[in-house]
Structure formats: structure tokens, C-alpha cells
Amino acid sequence: MARPHPGESAASGPDTHVRVMFQPHGREASVLAGSSLLEAAACVGLTIETPCGGGARCGKCRVQITTGAPDPGAAEAAVFSEAELRAGWRLACQTHLDASATVYVPEMSLFGSRHQILVDFERAETGALCPAVRKELVAMEAPTLDDDAPDLMRLEQRLGRVSVDAALLRELSPKLRRSRFQGTAVLADHRLIDFESGDTRDSCYGVAVDVGTTTLVGALVDLSTGVERAIAARMNPQVRYGDDVLSRIRHASEKPNGLDELRDAVTGEVSSIIAELCERAGVRAEHVYEATFSGNTTMEHLLCGLYPAALGQVPFTPTFARGLWFPAADLGLPIHPRGLAYVFPVIGGFVGGDTVAGMLATHLDAHEGPTLMVDIGTNGEIVLAHDRQRWAASTAAGPAFEGARISCGMRATRGAIEKIVIEDDIHCSVIDDAPPVGLCGSALIDAVAELLHHGIVSSRGKLLDADELPSSVPDALRRRLCTNAQGEPAFLLAKGEATVTLSQRDIRELQLASGAMRAGINILLKNAGIAAADLARIRIAGAFGSFIRRGNAQRIGLLPLEVERSRIQHVGNASLSGARWALLSTEARARAEELARATRHIELSRDPDFDIEFAMAMIFPDLD
Amino acid sequence: MARPHPGESAASGPDTHVRVMFQPHGREASVLAGSSLLEAAACVGLTIETPCGGGARCGKCRVQITTGAPDPGAAEAAVFSEAELRAGWRLACQTHLDASATVYVPEMSLFGSRHQILVDFERAETGALCPAVRKELVAMEAPTLDDDAPDLMRLEQRLGRVSVDAALLRELSPKLRRSRFQGTAVLADHRLIDFESGDTRDSCYGVAVDVGTTTLVGALVDLSTGVERAIAARMNPQVRYGDDVLSRIRHASEKPNGLDELRDAVTGEVSSIIAELCERAGVRAEHVYEATFSGNTTMEHLLCGLYPAALGQVPFTPTFARGLWFPAADLGLPIHPRGLAYVFPVIGGFVGGDTVAGMLATHLDAHEGPTLMVDIGTNGEIVLAHDRQRWAASTAAGPAFEGARISCGMRATRGAIEKIVIEDDIHCSVIDDAPPVGLCGSALIDAVAELLHHGIVSSRGKLLDADELPSSVPDALRRRLCTNAQGEPAFLLAKGEATVTLSQRDIRELQLASGAMRAGINILLKNAGIAAADLARIRIAGAFGSFIRRGNAQRIGLLPLEVERSRIQHVGNASLSGARWALLSTEARARAEELARATRHIELSRDPDFDIEFAMAMIFPDLD
């Protein structure tokens, strides 16, 4: 049905989806054919550890592909015996999937597994499990006249010096006596969070939250094993105050109680997510001791209730830069009353904690060769790492990628066309196999890329008139040229209960969005003194990015054609992965802080070349 | 009227009061004749600095005695010129007052004066003004595209790294912009408490509070100069739940909401004191950034809302030992919303922060020669310093010294006989010159000491019958032997609207109280391996102690007769002085912590000699 496009190697496969079932976790990922197994695992929240950065050197990312195993490569033949290879053992970092598969992931290959701790502890490698919150079993003698040390001093004889807030100090004496001085101390850094009766070391949880402008995703993680126990996503209820960050900044700055409304909306929904996660995993909320948050700069400010007005005007100044660590009660979160909240550091007004978390999760400081990370969305973030330096920028791509300002655009929900292939006629995939009612961002890119391919749209973005079309265009496609309800030239994509068309103006919106992103990429490349062809790899982060077909993104010029498609990988929700990692490792948290501080923030609009780069990037590449 | 008693040297003077007016402060002290000028100053809240410990070596405690100057001693002749001596210049540490006087105290002689800062800073001596809370003027440039550092980072470029709580972070962006990035940072340690518009360095205050079982005393102090701006005292409203600490511990432990009632009572009254202090000094409450608290262990626990049940039973275990430093808001205090509270460290269940503060204020770690500090009250605290070691103990002396359990006893309020001299007949001083209605603790000691002197009470404490009296007893006194309303043998002290008598049982109560204190002193001396005669000095701390006549305290055996009376000094409310000092100096605070930790807590009841010492100490010294 689908066929290879020009410029795509057969090896990387066409942009169709394959299903990957991960065992023993029982999670199924649907990813583009040719995706790395690492990406597929990341999409369902499994972080396979790759201390060498995916270079097939450390051999730690072993998995067993029980059905659908591709042929092994030379690196794998060097690591595994022939019998192992026959049994489907492969290195996840080397495996790209062209067909659906079932994959067994041994616990020791997962980041944060118990086994991992030992291995990593010995090797002193990154990725060891060292959460900020830890539990310690404490067995003390009760005071006597011969040993009459005060309660806190007695505890500190076991724990070392700790700080205790007034609320816990008030309960300490009765807590120690009720538990007969035997119990579990809960510590964060040198802060004593609680003293619990008996041995509760098995009940130690945290929540990682990706605070998106549109979507909130939370994951409940067992801090003693690193295992994710539940994951849940909800719409960010702030959308009722505006779709994009600027309208929310205006609401918070100009409306009475506007800031409180926005803060309460997001903290309320996060609280509800936490309650749901605990309910599903059978975990008591008071056994959740920490929450980590990654989001863009505005989302983090609103979450914390910080006035965002300065983020809405030149020079877009955030209140904070370093990550914040304060009582979760200050955010009104329903976890342990003395639990903590960590909010990711930000780089600038439009390069926020979600980008830093993504840099952390994609090991952007550890790869060899120039690496580009892009998070495509209304606000596109771009980070380039090269030669131990990093540059970051944000682009106001506009909401076209989210389906907004597109005549028949919609979010990627039921009824949205999410994939379009054009051969003799059009083939659409609709979310939930429902009758089509509009198209979402990934299908917008597909439609324009295919129309370019068929010569129906010119490289300058003009939807050609019927009499301008090349003769090769099939009649079925010619008949789809039309005029939409607004009287504009358009192309009919689907007709059912609703008529879905792509208009000339829609193509212009995509040109603006794609051109802005690409111009940003080019400016960062210029700052690093390298060309697009030098890029060793591109990582596409973010929920929206996961649905983009790489070949089509390259076809419209959003991503450089010079980079071989197999070197472009989807990494899924890297913001959430980073937040989860920060939950499990203070060392990772320190790296996040370092990444944020040692990344140069490039203000694209101030680059003298930006305008010309933007204009050039709006012209689609001339291929055919 | 008054005459020298046997055993008193003429130089130290009889136990009469003299009035000392301090200028330019306009404060008048009424102290015992022979008192040190340092003591007299301390009684009205003026701390004259004595870095050398009062040894006439540093010459820093200069004062000018404009009327009533005693003859200068050799040490003073070495320091001052003849003209200066004629003009009344003396060293406060060397001056003992036998007559009323007017004293001018230059600012540079006062602890914490502006001049003092410079002097002490250069000499790196103790006592320099280095409060935990400090203000710093900060002038920054507003952010631009060229200099777009986040707000907190911009501030930290001036202040160094600070921690900021969520509440301040929420206000930071608008605060900086309203003040056009020019203002005053308020810091405590590395904590940013506030950023205030303009230059507010002159408005930086703290409150020191002595939390007594009976009385609360608060002092408002200018942290930028060390000058005390106002002082106020109130009854501790917890007395309605019981006079002594044990009944309050019971109330807190056994009654529903008992702990909350006690906490709210004391924090409410402290709040009211703070409001009064601010009102009187014309200071805004939000310019008070810190409060320091010294009290006995139970008072400190109740102030902080800590469960005191474990303090009420063997082995009397406190919750904490190290001093506490947490948000004043946790105590509900009406100071700056991010102000702090420091609560003094404790040594044991019955040797608390008030004793530690007293040790700090009396330089107990700096004197040469064995030094005894006693705080005489319902709970008597005793500290002995010798040869770089310290021992501390508490004695349950009972409430006799407070006037309780005495047939005609009362607190030292209007109508209380507070001083008794017996010659041919009785001479009583009554508080406020009111008609006498009872006697307070100091008069109880006076009465028994005088009756011992006249042979009307035996050394075993028996109030002799009329036929047992020595012939030297004047008739006027003989006629005062009587039987009180309860049918007990008694001695008539005063008769007016009320009849005030001293009963046999009252004498027994005093024997118990005095014996307990003295036994404690003896046990500590034994621990240090020294005798009473070895003591270089005795410091009497506490409000009650200030009214005790030293000769009479020695006469009944409460204090050792072997110590020359001039070496016994009243130091006034040393607990408040220590709290004030901690407010002005983090270095002093560190010394308080060190004093608390490096003092051995002696549990008197466990000493095998205690019972015999107690029994022996109840017998009055046999002098006459």
C-alpha cells in the first residue's frame, strides 16, 4: 500500500508504523518503521540504559527479540554468541525495527533496575539510582537515666545531623515513643521528612510530571527500585484561559486573580493525576515524598505561582534560573505533607525546564559528534551540542503544528486525519478509525510533502491551478482541486460527514512554522561553525514530534535533507524521561543544573542573518 | 535605720538599696548597696562591655560618675589621668556603689554600640555586632536583551547565592520592577528574607524574649546599632493552667487540646508584647526580622508546640538539644512574614535555654577561677565553671522562693513585704508602700535570717517557744510570738488590714527550698573537686535573685558563707541578656551552642551523696 519515497533508502523503511510489544512489562508501542528500539521503548516509558551513548561499545542494552528480530549487525555479532543471536539477543542501541516485534527487556538492561544499581555503583557511571529521597531503618534504645540524650540527638546519632521543620519536631516525641524507637527515617538530603513506625523502606515513591502547555503527563515511580508503577496524562486545564503561553501570560498579568486561576488550574489537575496514579498502583499518597516537574519556562512559573508578566515582554526575563526545590505543600500537592517538589532549571524565557530535561534524557552532553535536539511545537525548542559546547534557541513557530490556524486543522484526537499517503489517490489514516473531521499537524506535513512530491504544490508553496499541474498528476488528484468555503484555492483531502480540505493559506501557515524552526536550526549551526551535513544525529523530542514522519519533515525542509534518515530518531517524551531521571538521581539533577547553566541561549531575532534564513527556509527544497 | 550585720564587712555595705541614674538613657536602677556598677546597668537593660571579663585589664568599660563617685582604686588610677579621676571617670567593672549616684555611660562603652563594632572588628574580639539578619543595599541595572539574566540570578550576582522560599519568589519579579531594581536585600545567613524598595538599612530590628514560667520579658533591639529601643514584661498567661512546669506538662499531655491551649497562650502574649514594643518605639512590625527566645526546657517546648509528655517522666527527655532556627510564622509571631525565630539550645530536661543564655551573658566560659552561676526559683538551676569544664544541675526547690506554699506568701506585687530588717522591732518595706498583705520570697529569707540572728529560730529551724528565747531578745520581738489561724506556732511580722505571720511550717518550707539549692551547689563542687571557699565568684541570675540580700542568703546557708560577699554579684535577667546577645551576634549564638553541648548535665538525685547533702544543707549555719 505505502511505497518508498524518492530519497528514502529501502533500509530505513517507509514511514509506516510497526507495533512493538515489550515484555515482561506488557506495554505496546506503535512507532515508525525503521525506529530504533531505544525510541520505541522510550515511547512506553521504558528507559533502556546506554552508558556509552548508544555506540555499541558497552554492551549493556541487551534485549531478546522473540518475534520479528532483524538480522544482527557486526557490532552485535561481536558481543553475542551464535546461539544467542539465533535466540534473538540484540543490542537495543543497534536495532532498528522494520516489522512488528516482541521484545523481552531483561531487568538489568533497564535504567534504574536493582541490578543496575550494583553494576553502576561499581563502575561509578552515571545513571546509578541515587534519589534525593531515601529511607533508612533506625533501631534505637529508649532513653534511660544513664542515656538521656534528647530525641533528636538520639536520632542524629544514627543519621548524622539533620534539619527538621517545626511540624515534624512537634510530632517527633510521640512518634518515637509510639514506635518504641524502632522505625524508618525518611530523608531528603539532610532534611528529615518523617519517622515512620516499623520498616517502610519498601514504600518510597515519587512522581515525575511533564507540564506541557497542552498536556500534563505524570509517572509514579518506585524510588527504591526505579520501576515506573503507573503513568497518566490529562489535558492542561489552563487551555481554557488560552492555547498558547502568551495568552496565559496576559491572563495572569492582566486579570484580577488571573495568576491564581492559572496556578490553581494546573496544580489542581496535577493533584488529580497524582491521586489517580496512587489509586491505580495501590500506593498511599503519604508514601509519595517527592515530585519533579519539567515544563517550559512559562508553565513552570505558573505552576509555582510566579508572576509571569516579565516573560511576556522584551527581554522575556524569568524569575529564576536554577532549579527550585521546595516543600510540595507550597504547590498544594497531595503527597506527604513534608514532601518536596523539584522544578527543573530554565535556560531563558522561551527555553525552559522541559528542554533541559530533554537534554538530560538524551544524554546531550555525552554524545560524540554534533547532535541536534528539536522539540517541534507551537514553541519550537532547538539545542545543538558540538565539541563540548551547547547552544539553545526557541522559535515561535506558531500553532500550525498543533493543528491551529489551519482551516480544517484540529488536535490529534478522535476523527483527526493523522497520516496521509498520496499515490493514485489519497489514503488517510484517521485516529480511532473514525470518520474524518479534520487534520492534525502530522497529516498537514504529510499532505504538503506529498503534494510537493506530485508537483501539485510548488517549491514556493503555491497550490497550482488545474491548468498549471504537470501532466503526470492522476485525474483522481486533479479532481480534488477546489475552492473552500472561504473562497480560497484548496485541495480536497476527505469527504464524509465533514469535508476536509487543505487551503492555500494552510500551506502558507506551514511554511511559516516550518521556516521558523529551520531558520533556528541554521542559526545554531552557524554559531557552532558547522553545516547540516556535519550532524551526527538528530533527536526529535516531544509528543507531537513522535508522530511526524521524518522523510516528510525533511521533504518540506523542516529538518535538513543532508542527514541520513536513520540518524534521525524520535525520543518520545524526553521531558518526562528527564523528570523521571531527576527523581531517581541527584547526580542527574546536578547534571541538569550544569546543562542549563553551560548552554548558550541564542536570541534568534537578534541574529542579523535570521530574516534571510527565515525567508529562505520558507521555500520548500527543490527535489523533483 | 539599717545597720551592718555581723559577718558583713563595712566595705561591702549593709543590704540597703541605692539608686543609680544612668545617663543619657534616663534609666534608674535600684540595687543593693555594694552592688557592682555592671550589675546596676544590667538591671535596666544596659550591657556595658567587658571583653576582659571584668578584670580591669582592657579599660573598655569607662563611665563617668557625676555624683556619688566612690574613691578610685589602683587599677583605675593606672588607666585614668588625675583630672579624669577628679571628673568621676571610673571603670564600671571596678566600681561598687555604696551610695546613690548618677552615671554617664559613653556609647562606646555599651555593648553593640556603633563605635564598638569598629573597635571589636579590628580586635576580632567577642561581642562584635554580627546579627544573623543583615541588610544590603543593591543597585542593579534592569534586564535588557544584552543582559537578560533571570531576576534571581541578577540578584545573586550582587549577593552571592541565596535561598528563597516560594512566597518571596512569587513576589520577586514585581518587587524588583516596582523598585526599578534598586532596593535593600534582607538576608539571614544565605536566606533571602525580602527585597525592599529603596534604602531601608536603618530599619532593621529584632526582639529578644525571656520566656519565664511566670513572666515574659521582651526587648526590641535595633540590629544595626545594637541599641535597645523598648522593653516590656507581662505575666505568662499559662499560669492559669498551673504555676509550675509539671502541672503545665500534665495539662499539655492529658487534656484534649491542652498543648494547643498552652502554646496559643504564650505565643499570643509574646505577640502582644511585640506589638506593644513596636508601638512604643514607632517601629513597623514588618521591620522586625528575627526573634530569639530563651526559657526553661518546658517553656521552650510549649512555645514551639512540642509535646512535653516525655519531660514529665523519668528520664525527662527533651525533644531537641541544639538551638532551633525556623520561620517565625511557625510560631504565629507578628513580625516580618519571612522572619525567623531562634530558640536557645537546652542542656537537659530541667536545665534549659534560659540557663544557657545566662551562661552566655555572664561569660561563664571566659572567667578565670571557679565561677558559680545560680538561678534561684521554683526550679533552681546551678552551673559551675572550673578549669575549662562546666557542670549543670537543676533542683526542684519548690515554690517557696516565689511565695507559694507559705502561709502568708505572695508574689512580689503591690502589698508584698519585700524586705525585712529586725532590730529592736521589725522594719518592713512593702512594694508600692502599700499596706502589707503578705510576704514575698526575698522577705521570707530576710525574716528567717533575722530571726536566726536574734536567736528566735534555731539552727535546726525551730521557732522557739517564748520560754526558750535567749534573754537578749527585746520584748517587742517576744510579743510577736503567736499562734496563727491554723493553730501553728508563728511570728507576727505585720498587722494592719491583714495580719502577716511567719509560721513554723513556713520555715520548714524555706529549709527545703534552700537546702535543695545548696545541696545541688555542693554536689557540683564535689564533681569539680573543689570546695566552696575556692569559688572566685558567684553570679546570681534571674528576676527573683535580684531581690535577694546576699548576706541573708548566706546566713540561711543558701549560698556558701565562705565566699566574700563582694564576690557575689547579681546579674539581673541574664536569660534576657543572653537572648539579646544572640540576636546581635551569630558568633555569640555559636558560643551558646558550644556552651550547651560542652556542659555536663548532673542528675542530682542519682548522686549517692545527695540525700545526706540535702539533709545537712537544711540545717542553718551555726554562727552566733
pLDDT beneath 70, residues of chain A: 1-15, 45, 49-55, 57-58, 107-127, 624
Per DSSP, the three-state class of B137 is: strand
pTM for this one?
Answer: 0.78
Please report whether residue B261 resides in a domain.
Answer: yes
- Residues with Cβ < 8 Å from A475, sequence gap 6 or more? none
Cβ separation A304–B166 shorter than 8 A: yes
Q: State pLDDT tens for residues B592-603.
A: 999 999 999 999
Q: State pLDDT tens for residues B396-450.
A: 877 788 788 899 998 878 889 989 999 889 999 998 888 999 999 999 999 999 9
Cis peptide upstream of residue B345 (ω within 30 degrees of 0): no
Chain Cα centroid distance, residue B190: 31
Q: Of the ranges A546-555, B125-134, B263-272, B386-395, which one carries the lowest mean pLDDT score? A: B125-134
Please report whether residue A348 resides in a domain.
Answer: no
For residue A101, what is the domain's CATH number?
3.10.20.30
Number of H helices and E strands in chain A, helices first, is 17, 28
| Euclidean distance between CA atoms A177 and B310, whole angstroms | 9
A435 shares its domain with A489: yes
For residue A606, what is the domain's CATH number?
3.30.420.40
A75 shares its domain with A50: yes
A54 shares its domain with A100: yes
Please report whether residue A143 resides in a domain.
Answer: yes
Please report whether residue A603 resides in a domain.
Answer: yes
* % of chain B at pLDDT higher than 90: 64
Cβ separation A315–B172 shorter than 8 A: no
Complex ipTM value: 0.77
Q: What is the mean pLDDT of residues B461-465?
A: 96
CA nearest B346: which of B291, B394, B391, B295? B295
Nine-digit cell string for B140: 542593579
Chain A residues with CB under 8 Å of B307 CB are 170-171, 173-174
Residue whose entry in the numeric block shows the C-alpha cell 503527597: A335
Task: Dihedral sign for Cα A341, A239, A506, A610, please.
Answer: negative
B191 shares its domain with B106: no
The B residues from 149 to 178 touching A (CB cutoff 8 Å) are 149-153, 165-167, 169-174, 177
B280 is in which domain, residue-wise? 205-343
pLDDT given for residue B10 in this prediction: 38
A337 shares its domain with A385: no
Cβ(B554)–Cβ(B535) under 8 Å? no
Please list the residues that pair with B30 across neighbouring strands. B19
| Residue positions counted in chain A | 624
Cβ(A445)–Cβ(A558) under 8 Å? yes
Cβ separation A166–B327 shorter than 8 A: yes
A77 shares its domain with A212: no
| Euclidean distance between CA atoms B290 and B327, whole angstroms | 9
**Nearest chain B Cα distance for residue A95, angstroms:** 43
CA nearest A92: which of A110, A116, A78, A114? A110
**Nearest chain A Cα distance for residue B256, angstroms:** 15
Q: Please tell me what DSSP assigns to residue B144.
A: -
pLDDT, greater one: A354 or B28: A354
For residue B156, what is the domain's CATH number?
3.10.20.880
Q: Mean pLDDT across chain B, nearest whole number?
A: 88
- Residues with Cβ < 8 Å from B66, sequence gap 6 or more? B23, B88, B102, B103, B104
Task: Dihedral sign for Cα A268, A274, A278, A283, please.
Answer: negative
| Euclidean distance between CA atoms A596 and A358, whole angstroms | 11
- Which of A165, A197, A229 finishes a domain? A197
Please report whether residue A4 resides in a domain.
Answer: no
* % of chain B at pLDDT higher than 70: 92
CA nearest B417: which of B391, B458, B452, B450? B450
Where b means 16+ CB within 10 Å and e means fewer, B442-476 reads bbbbbbbbbbbbbbbbbeebebbeeeeeeeebeee
- Which of A507, A539, A569 finishes a domain? A507
| Euclidean distance between CA atoms B1 and A581, whole angstroms | 85
Is residue B576 scored above 70 in pLDDT?
Answer: yes
Cβ(A320)–Cβ(A366) under 8 Å? no
Nearest Cβ partner of A306 from B165, B170, B346? B170
Cβ separation A309–B173 shorter than 8 A: yes
Please report whether residue A11 resides in a domain.
Answer: no
Nine-digit cell string for B201: 538599612
A246 shares its domain with A186: no
Please report whether residue A362 resides in a domain.
Answer: no
Is B254's Cβ below 8 Å from some Cβ in A?
A: no
A112 shares its domain with A139: no
Q: What is the mean pLDDT of residues B116-137?
A: 59
Q: Of the ranges A105-109, B79-83, B158-162, B511-515, which one carries the lowest mean pLDDT score? A: A105-109
Q: State pLDDT tens for residues B363-383.
A: 888 888 999 999 987 788 999
Please report whether residue B380 resides in a domain.
Answer: no
For residue A379, CA distances in Å to A243, A245, A337, A600 come to: 12, 9, 35, 18
Nearest Cβ partner of A169 from B166, B306, B315? B306
Cβ separation A174–B322 shorter than 8 A: no
User: What would the DSSP string read from start to end of B146-189?
Assistant: SS---HHHHHHHHH-S-B--HHHHHHHHHHHHHTTTEEEEEEET
Please list the residues that pair with A537 across neighbouring strands. A371
For residue A559, CA distances in Å to A98, A439, A508 come to: 22, 21, 18
Query: Reading across the β-sheet that carries A499-503, which strands appear in turn?
Result: A481-483, A489-495, A499-503
Task: Dihedral sign for Cα A571, A615, A246, A445, please.
Answer: negative
Is residue B460 scored above 60 in pLDDT?
Answer: yes
Question: Position B131: which residue type?
Answer: P
User: What would the DSSP string read from start to end of B284-315?
Assistant: -GGGEEEEEEEE-HHHHHHHHT---GGGGSTT
Q: How many CB pairs under 8 A join A and B?
A: 133
CA nearest B558: which of B591, B597, B586, B517? B517
Per DSSP, the three-state class of B77 is: helix
pLDDT, greater one: B563 or A243: B563
Cβ separation A317–B603 shorter than 8 A: no
Per DSSP, the three-state class of A84 is: helix
**Nearest chain A Cα distance for residue B226, angstroms:** 29
Q: How confident is the model at residue B4 (pLDDT cuts 50, 70, 90)?
A: very low
Cβ(B409)–Cβ(B400) under 8 Å? yes
Best of B189, B313, B320, B350 to disrupt the A interface by mutation (most A CBs within 10 Å)? Answer: B320
Task: Give kind and range of the element (H or E) at residue A327.
Answer: strand A324-327
User: What would the DSSP string read from start to end of A346-389?
Assistant: -SSSSS-HHHHHHHHHTTTTT-SS-EEEEE-SSEEEEEEEETTE
A48 shares its domain with A113: yes
Q: State pLDDT tens for residues B32-54.
A: 888 888 878 877 767 776 656 56
Question: Closest chain A residue to B300 measured between Cα atoms?
Answer: A170
Nine-digit cell string for B617: 544543707
For residue B302, what is the domain's CATH number?
3.30.420.480
Q: State pLDDT tens for residues B476-486.
A: 999 999 999 88
User: What would the DSSP string read from start to end of B238-298?
Assistant: GGGG-SSHHHHHHHHHHSTTHHHHHHHHHHHHHHHHHHHHHHHHT--GGGEEEEEEEE-HH
Task: Give kind and range of the element (H or E) at residue B192.
Answer: strand B191-197
Best of B153, B173, B300, B601 to disrupt the A interface by mutation (most A CBs within 10 Å)? Answer: B173
B39 shares its domain with B149: no
Is residue B122 scored above 80 in pLDDT?
Answer: no
Nearest Cβ partner of A315 from B143, B319, B601? B143
- Which of B489, B509, B529 finishes a domain? B509
pLDDT given for residue A413 in this prediction: 80
Task: Write down the H helix ranges in A556-619.
Answer: 574-584, 586-597, 610-617
| Euclidean distance between CA atoms A463 and A581, whole angstroms | 46
Chain A residues with CB under 8 Å of B315 CB are 143-145, 148
Cβ separation B151–A324 shorter than 8 A: no
**Nearest chain B Cα distance for residue A304, angstroms:** 7
* Number of domains making up chain A: 5
**Nearest chain A Cα distance for residue B275, angstroms:** 23
pLDDT given for residue B348 in this prediction: 93
pLDDT given for residue B389 in this prediction: 94
- Residues with Cβ < 8 Å from B264, sequence gap 6 or more? none
Cβ(A506)–Cβ(A407) under 8 Å? yes
**Nearest chain A Cα distance for residue B309, angstroms:** 8
Question: Closest chain A residue to B346 measured between Cα atoms?
Answer: A150
Per DSSP, the three-state class of B417 is: strand
Nine-digit cell string for A621: 527544497
Q: Of the ranges A465-469, B74-78, B251-255, B312-316, which one carries the lowest mean pLDDT score? A: B74-78
Chain A residues with CB under 8 Å of B166 CB are 304-305, 324, 326-327, 330-331
Cβ separation A150–B319 shorter than 8 A: yes
pLDDT, greater one: A25 or B461: B461
A372 shares its domain with A423: no
A184 shares its domain with A235: no
